[in-house]
Amino acid sequence: MSSRKPIEQTRAEILDVAWDMIRQRGAEVSLAEIGRTAGISRQSVYDHFGSRGGMIMALLKRADERYEIQQRLFAAFADDEPRRRLERTVDVWFDFVEQIYPVATDLIRLRTKDADASAAWEDRMGELRSWLLVLTTQLETDGILRGIWTPKAASEFLWTTISVQTWGLLTDDCGWSGARSRDTLRWVICQTLLGTQDGDTEQ
């Protein structure tokens, strides 16, 4: 009987090793180091993922599944109270960003020079933007989206405000804590997007 592990099992093990290493040491961990820790060669890592960008794309998809981000966001969307719905969405997303931040920043860095990384970024962000449009359309239907916003424009503002880059600027460059960043951005988002039927911000 062959001692070789099934391909999908090995792939999952590589991703688990890569995830732990990047979270602990940052985005500069090399594929050779990941391979050594996983007990395989650097070439084997390439054989599984094609490039660093391909591996990062697989890591983010695995994170989506591990942290059940779609299920958690849509559970927030189902909240009956519109303001709380938006607040819960922001909290769920930033909880996820804290988990994926080292991997996501690597993907952002790579996207300008790696076609796979660029495709991965567009894939993940395109999906997020479509989810946020669902949310802002709900808010308009509920009559709580301020009159200056269309659902599309509101979703685009929300997407940029909760971006990994914004989170990084506050936590890395400004030295804010995760809690301060989340609470401040949640407040700004609610004050900016939500209002009464006549467009005045709710108190």
How many angstroms from the chain centroid is the CA of residue 166?
Answer: 12
Q: Which CATH class is domain 7-49?
A: mainly alpha
- Own/partner pairs for 120-128, CB < 8 Å, 24+ apart? 120/53, 120/54, 120/56, 120/57, 120/60, 123/57, 124/60, 124/64, 125/159, 128/159
What's the confidence (pLDDT) of residue 198? 44
What's the confidence (pLDDT) of residue 196? 59
Contacts of 58 (CB under 8 A, 6+ apart): 11, 15, 49
Annotation: CATH topology of 68-193: Tetracycline Repressor; domain 2 (1.10.357)
% of the chain at pLDDT higher than 70: 90
- The CA–CA distances, whole Å, from 148 to 132, 151, 192, 199, 201 equal 18, 10, 10, 8, 11
Sequence ranges of the domains in the chain: 7-49, 68-193
pLDDT of 137 strictly over 90: yes
Cα angle, residue 139 at apex, residues 76 and 141 outer, rounded to 5°: 125
Q: For 77-114, how does the pLDDT look when each residue is reduced to its tens digit (9 = 90+)?
A: 999 999 999 999 999 999 999 988 887 887 788 778 77
* Average pLDDT of span 41-48: 87
pLDDT of 159 strictly over 90: yes
Structure-model confidence comparison of residues 52 and 43, the more confident one:
43
What's the confidence (pLDDT) of residue 72? 93
pLDDT of 3 strictly over 60: no
pLDDT of 150 strictly over 60: yes
pLDDT of 136 strictly over 90: yes
